[in-house]
Amino acid sequence: MAGKRDYYEVLGVDKSASDADIKKAYRKLAKQYHPDMNPGDKSAEAKFKEVNEAYEVLSDSQKRARYDQFGHAGTDPNGFGAGGFGGGFGDFDFGGFGDIFETFFGGGFGTRTSGARNGPQKGADLKYSMEISFEEAAFGTKKEVSVNRMEVCHTCNGSGAKAGHQPVTCKNCNGSGQVQYKQRTPFGQFVNIKTCDVCHGEGKIITQPCETCSGKGRVRKNTKLQVTIPAGIDNGQTISIRGEGEHGVKGGPAGDLFISIRVKPHPIFKRQGNDINCDIPITFTQAALGAEIEVPTLDGKEKCVVPEGTQTGSVFKLKGKGIPFLRGGGRGDQYVKVNIEVPKKLNEKQKEVLRQFAELVGDEVHEQRKGFFDKMKDALGM
């Protein structure tokens, strides 16, 4: 421990520095003194190791707390503050048990390691919401959508390196993205594996980053896509388009694009499955004498025969005038419900004609009314 510099001094930060400040300072110094940037420079290599040692302690909250309390002795594997017998169980590093169990059983007890990330990674899926009209949902349409996504940088083709340069293998982990270090415990010496601090699990280091993507290999871009909306789609359903999500990393496949459909309400039609319902008002005369009326459909106006003596609330079916089935094979039906509209604001002559009509027909033509009053008399004994 003799001759070791203060870890805060090594990283050039105050003792009150946040985790983010420590990480930022480390990255700057690690890049400055990295052996790949300073080939053959023993002084830079020594400083690089010193920076890594300081960061390993100060980036770990438990180790940092022991270091603040005991100094270098608090992090020395043989010292009293790092789990040796000299410190007693009060200062034992119980975090070491997590490393031991992880080494033998692959996890548990607050694991702090992660695998290398230097392989292909699939891009993220994207979600998009689209509103269409009732008719567009029924018969299908094509829409242009603008998708904001991460795409492979065309300048470096996803490598992240400047033209004429290639990422170099990290010498600290030999390209594995992981490093091993030995740890002494009361049970003996164990080997622990953790993510490489130099390449952060990537296995490679970009010394000359691409100016377009800053070494990330991907750039954010607005892309316009033509989307086919199938006939028969309903409100709340989702269209999935494979490979139109964010582009993958390091040759990984692209994610998918999921488009959620919202259908605007129609002023006349109401959808029920693949059938359509609508209400049509007719006059008393049309209902009594019968008539041929025009009914709106998704295909235009259709003629519908209202038979003589039609009652309000009667429903007629127009076969095959509903919504097309989503996977083909025909269409649903349209159901037309007629409502008899009682005239308002009659003049005296019109009222007199209706009174004469009522006297002429009496109860003979009002079968439902007559039947109702007969039942009422029986029920009430009148």
Q: Which residues are annotated as a binding site?
A: 153, 156, 170, 173, 196, 199, 210, 213
CA distance 40 to 283: 100
In this structure, how many other beta carbons lie within 10 angstroms of the beta carbon of residue 133? 13
- Is residue 165 within 8 Å of residue 215, measured between CB atoms? no
In this structure, how many other beta carbons lie within 10 angstroms of the beta carbon of residue 44? 16
CA distance 243 to 149: 12
CA distance 166 to 211: 14
Using DSSP's 3-state secondary structure scheme, residue 38 falls into coil
Known binding positions for Zn(2+): 153, 156, 170, 173, 196, 199, 210, 213
End-to-end CA, the chain: 114
CA distance 137 to 57: 61
Parallel/antiparallel/unpaired status of strands 257-263 and 126-132:
parallel
DSSP letters, 192-216, are EEEE-TTTTTSSEE-SSB-TTTTTS
Measure the CA dihedral 246/249/250/253, to 10°: -50
Sequence-ordered list of residues with C-beta below 8 angstroms from that of 262, at least 6 positions apart, any chain: 129, 130, 131, 132, 235, 236
Using DSSP's 3-state secondary structure scheme, residue 74 falls into helix
The length of the chain, given as a count of residues: 382
